[in-house]
Each structure stands twice: as structure tokens, then as C-alpha cells.
A = this chain, B = another copy of it.
């Protein structure tokens, strides 16, 4: 559940503190002295270990990506379109994907605060990527995009590339937005512990996405 190196050497402690501090205050808002203090280290060490603040930020993102890269790869690979059973596999793979993606993003809320902060940082980076780290982000996102795109292709072979892409963006979008705007959502609802039944929310996202995608199997009338 925690970062690879248990020994917790200074370098790792700095990165952990950086995740927390950058997530809480942003790149400009977080000072290296504050980060160092959070790691019980000297502020001069970020220059020594990471060649400066920007380097620490880059290495922080790398650590987050390395930690999260396994999620999508754990999903079953679905057979190519046309193969018998591909449609059924894609249908299941699609649901697994949403559940995994949602869990990675949202379900970590009560668990490790570092995990939580890491997701805040990643969300911020997706919305306004620091130019130096945009390639890193792209590379990390690619497997997700590929997996989802493949599922969609199998489920809606009649759509062209543009339409498929739009579907993918919408499906990812509702989940990412749910995570990003949880603060506002709780304010609007007036309930600081809003998603009380997480499973219910996940099922909603799956159902909504399948219907939105236009998969016939998902649309036996909800009103019966």
C-alpha cells in the first residue's frame, strides 16, 4: 500500500512530503523549506537530490505514475473485434475498466492520505500540465486510452474514429469530474460525507456510460 522502498531514505521522504505539499498548495504555493520540514530533511537537499524544485516536481510525478501504472494492466485483455465472444468480453471489460478507474480515483479517499494527495496532483496535472512534465503524463495515460478505445470499438463497430473518441472522453469525463468536483458536490448537497454508498455510485457510472454509449443490452427500459 505504501511506496516501494520501505527503508524511507531521505530521497523518498522528500518525494512523499512533496506529494502532500504540492497537492495541498500547488507548485508555486509550496515552498521547498516546507516540503523539507515535512520530510524531516534539510531544504538544501532538494537541490542536491533533484537539481532544484522543478526536478523534485518531475520526480514526484514519476513516483506517482510508477505507483499507479499497474491498475489498467491488471484488467483482462479482450479479444480483437470480430472474434467470437469478443462482444461479451468487451462488455465485461468495459465494466471492469470503469470500476477500476473509479476505484483508483475515488475509493482511495479514506485510505492512505498520500494516495489521495497523489490523485489530487494528477488531476491538477491533467487539467493544467506543467510543460516539462506533459510527455510523462501522456505516456502514463496511453494504456488507459488504448484499453477503453478498444472496448468501445468492439461495442460500437458502426462508429467512426471521431465519434468513438467523443464517447471515450464523455465516459472518462464523468468519472474524473466526479472526483475533481467532490468538494463542490458535497457543498451543493450539504453533505460532507456524500458518497455514502460507493457501490451505488459505481453502478450508476457503469449504467450511465453503457446507456450513453448506446449498447442495446444496457437499455432494457429502466422504467418497467
Contacts and interface: CB of A to CB of B under 8 A. Distances in A.
Contacts of A44: none
Nearest to A167: B208
Interface string A186-202: 01110000000000110
A176 to B, nearest CB: 5
A145 B188 contact: yes
Interface string A80-99: 00000000000000000000
Contacts of A156: 222-223
Interface in A156-184: 156, 158, 162-163, 165-167, 169-178, 180-181, 183-184
A128 interface: yes
B126 A181 contact: yes
Interface residues of A, number: 56
A117 B222 CA distance: 41
This protein's copies in its complex? 2
B204 A158 contact: no
A110 interface: no
Contacts of A138: 184, 187-188
Interface stretch (A13-21, A53-61, A65-73, A210-218): A210-218
22 contacts: A26-B26, A28-B28, A124-B127, A126-B181, A127-B180, A127-B183, A134-B187, A156-B222, A156-B223, A158-B222, A158-B223, A165-B189, A170-B174, A170-B178, A171-B174, A174-B174, A176-B177, A176-B181, A177-B177, A212-B212, A214-B222, A214-B223
